[in-house]
A and B are shown apart, each in its own frame.
Chain A
Amino acid sequence: MPAALAIAVTPVPPAPSPTRLLLKRFLASPVGAVALGLLLLLALLAVAAPLIAPQNPYDLATVSVMNSDLVPGSRSEDGTLTFLLGSDAAGRDILSAILYGLRISIGVGIASALIALLVGTALGLVAAHFGGQVDAFLMRIVDLQLSFPTILVALTLLATLGQGVDKTLLALVIVQWAYYARNVRGSALVERRKEYVEAAIGQGLPALRVMFVHILPNCMAPLLVTATLQTAHAITLEATMSFLGIGLPPTEPSLGLLIANGFEYLLSNKYWVSIYPGIALVLLVGAINLVGDRLRAVLNPRDDQ
């Protein structure tokens, strides 16, 4: 009897939270861990740019033409600054420009991916919920959207809209929402056949609530992966637009614009002006993509071998 009692009162250890489990599985892969670490580092550098950058590259008071085109490692004319990654034609410190550029690239990438996520998810759920003509109409727009190369659509939009942060964001959202809409619609159609949805409706929950509170959270896994990869895509696309001179204005210099700045000097041996921002962009996009891939493996246990 005392033994049985002892067993009965043994407390059940609290199950680890799903988020912690997920993180643990994520970090089990060295590649995933390194990519996540790199991504966090880059994000931290971007956020802290005004604090840690050796120079504010867009404050004309601190930039001197006397320091133009310096080789990496040179000291500034007045001896106060070391240009670790060299300087450009206007005398700006490339390292500082990269830190500020990261900030803008990441900001625009995440903002556009988030807005596209909201728009696409809402429309995808609406299509799945109403079905029939609403579904057909929305999905044909998605088909149309996805049948054009994204770069062509973005180019056309920006060529007509003109430059600007808001316009670049708008163009990025327009070329991206369709991925989310199709993705969510597919998952939602699978989920709404499941019995918990019938049970929820049987509980008297209104259709919208079932859609957003019950079905949507069950579609999160593929959505999260799409969102990660689409953020990388948005950053690349924005860099391309800015490189071509139709994306962000020179007052908001992203990595793409920095690459464009030094592009013409590449063959005259001043490689650093373009190469270092280029490396930063590759590291950023690469890290996000690897994190996305790892996320896909972790969220879909069948793929996680």
Chain B
Amino acid sequence: MSSGLPLLTVDGLTTRFRMPQGAVTAVNDVSFELQPGRILGLVGESGSGKSVTALSLLNLVDKPGQVDARAIVFKGEPLHRASPSRWNALRGDRIALVSQDPMMSLNPVIRIGEQLVETIRIHRRLSAADARRIAIDALERVGIPAPVERMQAWPHELSGGMRQRVAIANALVNQPDLIIADEPTTALDVTIQAQILYEMKRLARDSGTALIWITHDLAVVKDLADELCVMYAGRIVERGPVAELIRAPRHPYTRGLLDSLPHGRSAGGRLTPIRGAAPPLSRLPAGCAFAPRCPRAAAACGEPPPLSSAGGREFRCVRPL
């Protein structure tokens, strides 16, 4: 599994927001490794800390947020000690972001082509003509018809699916080593969503780009990712290769997510929801955060569960399945 040097090693990533009412820990002791060319799915409900994890990895957390980590190492470089100018050089070049809302992530008053060319030329000394060629090529790769004409288009002239493709093209232009995609298909139709997922997977395979795909939808990532991290209340509660994790989840929360999916059920059968709602991060229970909703909760769950690992899988549960 761990063949060669990992592209990205995250160890003990913790992001706190200091509020007048006290600190809120949105991301709590998150650790994972990512190999080049692999796809990592980061799954969780709203408020589980997955988006903040993405922003923390790009050092884009605004005040009053504060990011701490024992280590974030990207291609052998300790990112947790990188300077702001180093971050500007990395972002958009080696690590690219595809943000949450495709409708909003393009500047409404700048033509598509100019936005792509800008991303290229800010990182590479290229002539405008060369940058333009790369931009057109990127538009073509993400499946935009008539890319030369689309270079002249304004964002409002494109549909949501097309705009999201442009946003993805913008992340691809500099052939990054890592793309962090934060729910990039949530706002799209299922058909377009499937198309984009397929294309992303192909692009990752072809270019050797690693991908962190953040979503609340387990159904989306289970066919896309190589490995899954399931987040709950700021922590990774379970991590493992996607096939094994789907086949035999160890954490009751993962089991609950899987049981809520309609896939592989006979028609008319009832889905099993997870009872209750995720707790607010400012008032987490002392022990396991999932215990109040967990069907297997016991007295031992009142203590914070340690991280157990077995056979390339990790989970945070004292009463695993």
Contact = CB atoms under 8 A, between A and B. Distances in A.
A198 B122 CA distance: 16
Nearest to A196: B107
B53 interface: no
A204 B108 contact: no
Interface in A95-131: none
Given A195-B99, A195-B100, A198-B99, A205 B122 contact: yes
Contacts of B105: 195-196, 198-199
A104 to B, nearest CB: 35
Contact of A199 (B89, B93, B109, B167): B167
Nearest to B173: A203
B106 A202 contact: no
B170 interface: yes
B157 A205 contact: no
B106 A204 contact: no
B24 interface: no
B58 A202 contact: yes
B106 A196 contact: yes
Contact of A214 (B60, B89, B107, B153): B107
Interface in B19-64: 58, 60
B89 A204 contact: yes
A201 B149 CA distance: 27
Nearest to A217: B109
B157 A203 contact: no
Contact of A203 (B92, B104, B109, B154): B92
Contacts of A204: 87-93, 119, 122-123
Interface in B106-161: 106-110, 118-119, 122-123, 149, 153-154, 157
A15 interface: yes
Contacts of B110: 213-214, 217
Contact of B92 (A196, A202, A214): A202
Contact of B108 (A200, A202, A218): A218
A209 interface: yes
A203 B100 contact: no
Contacts of B90: 204
A198 B101 CA distance: 11
B106 A199 contact: yes
Q: Which of A195, A196, A205 has the most CB of B within 10 A?
A: A196
Given A15-B157, A199-B99, A205 B118 contact: yes
A2 interface: no
A206 interface: yes
A194 interface: yes
Interface in A18-40: 18
A218 B154 CA distance: 14
Q: How large is the interface on A (under 10, 10 to 19, 20 to 34, 35 or more residues)?
A: 20 to 34
Interface residues of B, number: 31
Nearest to A210: B107
A299 B90 CA distance: 38
B88 A206 contact: yes
A202 B96 contact: yes
Q: Which of A194, A204, A214 has the most CB of B within 10 A?
A: A204
B101 A203 contact: no
B60 A202 contact: yes
Contacts of B149: 12
A124 B106 CA distance: 24
A231 B153 CA distance: 34
A209 to B, nearest CB: 7
B167 to A, nearest CB: 7
Interface string B166-205: 0100100000000000000000000000000000000000
B214 interface: no
B97 interface: yes
A186 to B, nearest CB: 18
Nearest to A131: B63
Q: Which of B58, B109, B149, B167 has the most CB of A within 10 A?
A: B109
Q: Which of B105, B119, B167 has the most CB of A within 10 A?
A: B105
A206 B85 CA distance: 8
A220 B122 CA distance: 24
A196 B108 contact: yes
A299 to B, nearest CB: 12
Contacts of B109: 217-218, 220
17 contacts: A195-B99, A196-B106, A199-B99, A199-B105, A199-B106, A202-B92, A203-B118, A203-B122, A204-B90, A204-B93, A204-B119, A204-B122, A205-B119, A205-B122, A209-B122, A217-B107, A218-B108
Interface of B: 58, 60, 87-93, 96-97, 99-101, 104-110, 118-119, 122-123, 149, 153-154, 157, 167, 170
Interface of A: 12, 15, 18, 194-196, 198-206, 209, 213-214, 217-218, 220
Given A199-B97, A204-B122, 14 more contacts: A15-B154, A195-B101, A196-B105, A198-B60, A201-B60, A202-B92, A203-B96, A205-B88, A205-B119, A206-B88, A213-B110, A213-B118, A217-B109, A217-B110
